[in-house]
Chain A
Amino acid sequence: MSLRNPKLLLAIPAVALIFVFMILPITNMIEMSFRTPGHSEPFGDDYTTMHYDRILSDGYYWGVLGRSLLTAGAVTLLCLIVSYPIAWHMSKAKGLKAVFLYACIASPLMTGVLVRNFGWMIAAALNGPLNETLLALGMIERPLRLLFTQGLVILALVHVFVPFMVLPINNALRNISPTLIEASSSMGATRREVFRDIILPLSFPGIYPGMILVYVLAVAAYVTPALLGGQMVSYMPTLIIGELTGTFQWPFGSALAIVLSVSTILVVGLFTALTSRLMERSKA
């Protein structure tokens, strides 16, 4: 590799963009979280760890953090359960049918989160389709209040992130050679055993990035809890944005954001450590 290749200069604008408008600002945010609170300004001139002390010593913030992490975990698992059959079905499709299925995944993906959440507002109305369906199935006797519940937030987040999970799993499934399935069945494996022993482990290179991406994005999702979560329950992102835009407590908001990021990284690291053996073996 020659670092003198003049073509490398072409990367300068992109590197500058990412460095100046992303890496510097995020570093800046770490610094901000150690600033003292300001009075007329959003932040003060001195440094302190008081914001972290306050977050870590207050059960309220632990609760909100726990709720955010757990909700994202539930969203990730549900996403996996919903996405796997779709990805499986998609990986088998060819020709026009495949195009149609890809379009069904891509259209929601390319529609904004806000718009899709709005769709769930319509669905969850007191006399809306969700309640109607539940009534018709006899699962409930009178319409439920679905809007502004945690359940609806989770449902809408699953809907938002399903394409992020389907696409990598679909790719991983397409990479599994059909002869492996034939080989295992010739060795006596039933359909269930083929799935458990061959397909599931070999699709892990798709499951892993899908789960990580969904988890990271779900923990920090703001729009969905803000629109569908109501005022009763708080999540970290709504709390952070509230501190920044409502009360203008920038240092405290930054500290919250960093606590959230660090916890997310810990969860992701734990998951990676637990699955590293499987990943090592199943990667292509």
Chain B
Amino acid sequence: MSEMTNTFSNQKPVNVGFGILIVLLYIFLMAPLVMIIGASFTNGMMIEFPPQGFSWRWYIEFFERKDLVDGLLMSLRIGAITAVVTMTVAMMAAMAGQVISGKLSGWFQLGMTLPLLVPELLTAVGLLFFLYKIQMAKTVMGLQMGHILMSFPYAYVSIAAAIRQVPASLEEASASLGATGWQTFRLVILPLVMPGLAMGGIFSFINSFDLYTISLLLKPLGGNTLPLALFDFLTYEFKPTAAAAATLSILLSIGGVALVQKLVGLQRAF
């Protein structure tokens, strides 16, 4: 029931001006995505917006390009493994985080989100040397570890938030009814944090799918992720195929946004 109306005079003109500003800002936010999607359907030979005519030819061309498709498959595979591993590790860490209290808890949270707070470039450079030292340089396994590290905080933040919502009394209640620790986890905790866990997986997957700098430095011999392949393609060829590839990537993120909205609601997720 708290709606504000005439708290201030001179409301109307300010509102109109502000409305126009907001629309312009949202156009700024969405324009690059819209242009890529538009350009991917062009019938011409150049990447341009607005597109010339309409065709699916660049999508067909994309799937005929072995380097790009290999990159896509590699990204999907690394992303999937990253999601599964980070979900498991983050779930465990979040449960441990719950029994840490006081000042230490803040430090633990900070530590768990470190890969998000330290620029990717530094982590990537450090990892490059480290993998070299342990003889994992230029291996898919090394790249995979980098992706898991970089995506871990996304999974952790979502899952920890979900676990915090579960009252500690539920665990005690379950134990008092005779459940073992594992039963309590499987039958009480897990169903309650499922949406947060799934959301963590989605964020983790999408983050891995989008990573560039770390992939560039840890690139395995003979393997490219989609962003790496796309960068090379943009540098050397610059054809609308790139727009088709980028559109697929945008669709993936829009799908992720929709899933997150369905699972926990965007407002709570961000």
Contacts and interface: CB of A to CB of B under 8 A. Distances in A.
Touch A–B, Cβ below 8 Å: yes
A221 B122 CA distance: 10
Nearest to B36: A119
A99 B133 contact: no
A275 B117 CA distance: 20
Contacts of B216: 222, 241, 245
Chain B: number of interface residues, binned into ranges: 35 or more
Interface string A175-194: 00010011001000011001
Contacts, number: 261
B167 to A, nearest CB: 16
Contacts of B128: 244
B122 A115 contact: no
Given A82-B25, A116-B33, A14 B92 contact: yes
Interface in A40-79: 42
B266 A8 contact: no
Interface string A247-273: 000100110010001000000000000
Interface string B105-146: 000100110110111111101111110110000000000011
B130 A28 contact: yes
Given A7-B98, A85-B21, A159-B29, A122 B115 contact: no
Contacts of A85: 18, 21-22, 25
Contact of B210 (A7, A112, A129): A112
Interface stretch (B6-14, B53-61, B62-70): B6-14
A104 B29 contact: yes
Contact of B126 (A22, A129, A213): A22
A166 to B, nearest CB: 9
Chain A: number of interface residues, binned into ranges: 35 or more
B122 A119 contact: no
Given A1-B101, A10-B96, A17-B149, A159 B118 contact: no
B246 interface: yes
A207 interface: no
B266 A14 contact: no
Contacts of B115: 18, 22
B4 A25 contact: no
Nearest to B211: A112
A98 to B, nearest CB: 6
A102 B22 contact: no
The prevalent SS among residues of B at the interface is helix
A233 interface: no
A103 interface: yes
Contacts of B112: 14, 18
15 contacts: A1-B101, A14-B92, A17-B148, A21-B130, A21-B146, A85-B21, A104-B29, A107-B250, A110-B256, A112-B253, A120-B32, A220-B120, A220-B122, A222-B212, A257-B125
Given A17-B148, A114-B227, A185-B7, 10 more contacts: A10-B95, A14-B112, A89-B18, A110-B256, A122-B47, A178-B2, A226-B231, A227-B234, A244-B128, A254-B125
Interface of A: 1, 5, 7-11, 13-15, 17-18, 21-29, 32, 42, 82, 85-86, 89, 98-99, 102-108, 110-123, 125, 127-129, 159, 162, 167, 178, 181-182, 185, 190-191, 194, 213, 216-217, 219-223, 226-227, 237, 240-241, 244-245, 250, 253-254, 257, 261
